[in-house]
Amino acid sequence: MAAAASLVAAVGTVAGMVSALDGPEGGDVARPRVTRSPGLLPLPAVPTATSASASPGPSPSPSDSKTAKKNPQPAPRASTGRPVAPASTRLYRHTDSQVLDWVRANRSDPRRPLIESRIADRPAAVWFADFTPDTITSRVRAVTSTAAREGRVPVLAPYAIPERDCGGASEGGAPDIAAYDSWAQKFAAGLGSGEVIVVLEPDALSQTECLSGGQLSDRYAALARAGRAFKSANPRARVYYDAGHSDWNPAGAQAARLRAAGGASPASSDGVFTNVSNFNRTSAEVAYARRVLAAMGGPPSLGAVIDTSRNGNGAPPNGAWCDPSGRKLGQAPTLRTGERGIDAYLWVKLPGESDGCKGEPGSFAPDYAYDLAD
């Protein structure tokens, strides 16, 4: 994943801006891959409010990622003893994930202790990547109400924008803008009243080369509407829009797209997210996020969240984005970054879930997870 990312947003139309904002773009930049959506759990009661609550240059095409040769995995080795920062006690860890399924089913596996302690025990985003209008409210509410009862903050990644991934390995989403609007309204109805972080449609504002001018205007408007719907349904929801990452689009160009989609309006947005499913170092993303926020010209209350799930060693030098070797876990998820304007470090991409080279896109690959954690 060299220059793209993926997940969720909202905002209004800006007429006549398409040609000014979007010129020719580079090739297939690093993108997030589909992560399994949570299953439909028993519908909990709606909770009451609680106070606790990729690298520069062209990357392989999606077809390349599907046929890429899988690298042989080394046998489990002793941990290096690398220190791992404690995770935030306020972020929510969802109990329905592929890594937890694997841990429960493989108690005797020698890789299990490291994967469990350094990945499975960490809070991570819950992705909603399938277009299921009939159940989306119940599934979102199942997560938000459980988190509220525990006094924790869930991170949700809605990922159903039409023309998702421009037809690549993570293609899918709603069939059209009207269907997406309806889906987003139903998503909003599940947000409850507790604190919640929404990472709105990764890649939706960074990867747009497949859209016509009219389609892009429609996408901007749909994202703006989604953001407003989320914040109207739950004023404590914090909605972040797609800023790509520091090796993708220039900060000024990305800021223009964000403004067009409502990313600079407090009615729909709390700021931006960067580095989803990518590997750039946190310091580079902090500097880039600040440049984007400054160029957006929004209120000083807008901030940024950064995906640190796989950036412990930074981006690979050759621009590889599909399960590149030599990567490590990054900063543990936390809502206390100590950095001005940076609201959180999050694990949006679930470590160990493949980009499509060491397994099917979005599938859990234990050898890959072990290498990241070791």
165 noted as active-site residue: yes
Cα distance between residue 19 and residue 23, in whole Å: 7
Catalytic residue among 22, 28, 165, 270: 165
355 noted as active-site residue: yes
SS3 content of the chain, % helix, strand, coil (to 5): 30, 10, 60
Tell me, what amino acid is at 238? Answer: R
Task: Find the length of the chain.
Answer: 374
8 Å CB contact between 268 and 227? yes
8 Å CB contact between 154 and 94? yes
8 Å CB contact between 246 and 287? yes
Give the contacts of 193 (CB within 8 A, at least 6 positions apart): 46, 47, 48, 49, 148, 234, 236
Catalytic residue among 355, 367, 371, 374: 355
Which residue shows structure tokens 């935030």?
A: 88
Catalytic residue among 203, 307, 343, 374: 203
Phi-psi category of 178—alpha, beta or left, where left has phi over 0 and alpha has psi -120 to 50? alpha
DSSP tag of 8? B
| 3-class secondary-structure state, position 229 | helix
Cα distance between residue 112 and residue 19, in whole Å: 51
Q: Which residues are catalytic?
A: 165, 203, 355
